[in-house]
Amino acid sequence: MQTKNKVLLCLPKWRGRNHGFFLGIAALATSLQKAGIETAVYDDDLASYAANKEHCNHDNLLEQFIIEYKPTIIGLHINTPNYEEALSLARKIRKLTDIPIVAGGPHATVAARIILARHKEINFALKGEADYTLPILAKQIFLNKQLNIPNLVQRKNGYIVESQTIAPIQMSMLDFPNRNSFLHPPLKILSKWASIHYQNNFYSTIRSFDGRKATNIYASRGCIRSCPFCFPGNFWMDHTQNTPVRRIRSVKNLMDEIAMLRDLGYGAIYFDETAFPFDQNTWLLEFADKIKELDMYWGGAAIFHQVHKAPLKYLAKCGLRYLYFGLETPIGKLQKKINKELSAETAREFIDFCFDIGIQCDVSIFFGIPGETDTTISKTIEWINTNLRYGNAFFSIAAIWPGTRWAEIEGLGPECWEPDYDKNTAPGNVVWYDHKLTSIGQFFSNSLGTYHPAFMTPERALKIKESIIKSGFRARF
């Protein structure tokens, strides 16, 4: 009989670019350990990398990990782009052990009932944040108690039932994400390659960090916007009040973690969150004063109208080196389709201003927004060639993801993302992309994962790709 409660948090393989530390998983590790539960992380991306380096069998590493670690419960993170990989990983785990598997993450939040109805390998699902609920679930399963946990979805007496919903956790209740759970997994072969693997990430490509060792962090959780193509506003919603929320860490708490990262040899940090709280003026200036003392470079995602020119020169002196904006389109009528409103001229002036004071700016550009025409495509390509002089753009397809407003409008429920779903019977006026379309996935950054629907055909996407390349524009990604 197992005498020690041990949780194994599993991350499926990600088809796209490596994303560094998954801070949500690292935060879960902290919450579990704080509750007295031993915790380890198995990252299938790292296992694949290590197996390639060591010329060994990838699947054998998973088996060896489970045999040596002997977990009592497995947490499986599921995001829509890696859903097929997550299901594959669940099946492999089930062949090795009969211990409970609990699904969590964005896709599990919106598709919990579908997952439990169709995939018997998975025993439970936890919706939303699990920092509070997963430790309770792990303890109750270990002690063989009746499960009485908020946000839990389970099979019971032949039915799939959900427990009551609770509000998102307060930031003051969370300790620092446990990066060591990624850097030092108990399997030696994974620990050997972890530090090298996790430096192969997006924020290490930021030129304005000047080659400093970089890592990610978050100052806030949540999103108060309601973009029709994006799910975070729903994931972080307070469903007890039916309102989106964003919670911000205290400056002291944040700076304590940054000081710790500096002592570990990091010289730059990327705020890996929906949007850094540039709209919190008092908080922002206090933060800037403190981080200046540590000589750390920093940057992150931002919302255009929340960042003002007036404090930017001072923020640059305090180490701000990078901003990433979701412009999506410079075309006004298309912006209205996605609940955004920013003139192309204002965007250009702001980007130029940032570069002039030493702040690198990248922007995301969507293609395939409803209402797009050959003329708007040509104007967009002309705009990026004129105004994004350093190749500073991410290109994405206006894809539809479960739980978003676009999915709701098109009548696409989470069952449509099941691997065996007949796409020919799908409602809505959409086209399904397959992950095997590598020529698209390697150019449009959000098409690197599993299949997804969009408003334009793959043929049109390839034509846009060719037009951008022929125009001479070279994205830095």
If one compares 170 and 259, the residue with the highest pLDDT of the two is 259
Distance CA 367, CA 381 (A): 10
Distance CA 444, CA 321 (A): 25
Model confidence pLDDT, tens digit, residues 375-431: 999 999 999 999 987 788 889 899 899 999 999 999 999 999 999 998 888 887 898
Model confidence pLDDT, tens digit, residues 261-294: 999 999 999 999 999 999 999 999 999 999 999 9
Strand partners, 243: 238
Distance CA 1, CA 69 (A): 14
Distance CA 22, CA 156 (A): 32
Percent of the chain whose pLDDT exceeds 90: 69
Confidence class of residue 460 from pLDDT cuts 50, 70 and 90? very high
Looking at 10-19, 41-50, 129-138, 173-182, which range is the least confident one? 10-19
Q: What pLDDT was estimated at residue 70?
A: 96
Distance CA 106, CA 449 (A): 14
Confidence class of residue 476 from pLDDT cuts 50, 70 and 90? low
Q: What pLDDT was estimated at residue 167?
A: 83
Taking each helix axis as running N to C, give the angle between helix 309-317 and helix 281-294, from 0 to 180 degrees, rounded to the nearest 10. Answer: 20
Q: What pLDDT was estimated at residue 17?
A: 55
Q: Looking at residues 192-198, what average pLDDT do you find?
A: 93
Q: Looking at residues 121-136, what average pLDDT do you find?
A: 96
Confidence class of residue 249 from pLDDT cuts 50, 70 and 90? very high
Answer left, alpha or beta for residue 211, where phi above 0 means left and psi between -120 and 50 means alpha. Answer: left
Amino acid at 185: P
**Pair 449, 392: CB distance under 8 Å:** no
197 Cβ contact list (under 8 Å, min separation 6): 18, 45, 46, 49, 50
Q: Looking at residues 186-214, what average pLDDT do you find?
A: 92
Helix or strand holding residue 376 (H, E): helix 374-387
Q: Closest Cα to residue 362, out of 415, 404, 310, 326?
A: 326
Q: What pLDDT was estimated at residue 169?
A: 86
Task: For Cα atoms 326, 327, 329, give the angle at the middle one, nearest 5 degrees.
Answer: 135
The three-class DSSP label of residue 38 is strand
Strand partners, 416: none
Give the C-alpha distances (Å, rounded to integers) separating 383 from 2, 158, 345: 62, 57, 10
Residue in the block written with tokens 């990989």: 85
**Pair 176, 34: CB distance under 8 Å:** no
**Pair 166, 220: CB distance under 8 Å:** no
Arithmetic mean of pLDDT over the chain: 90
Q: What pLDDT was estimated at residue 438?
A: 66
Q: What pLDDT was estimated at residue 451?
A: 62
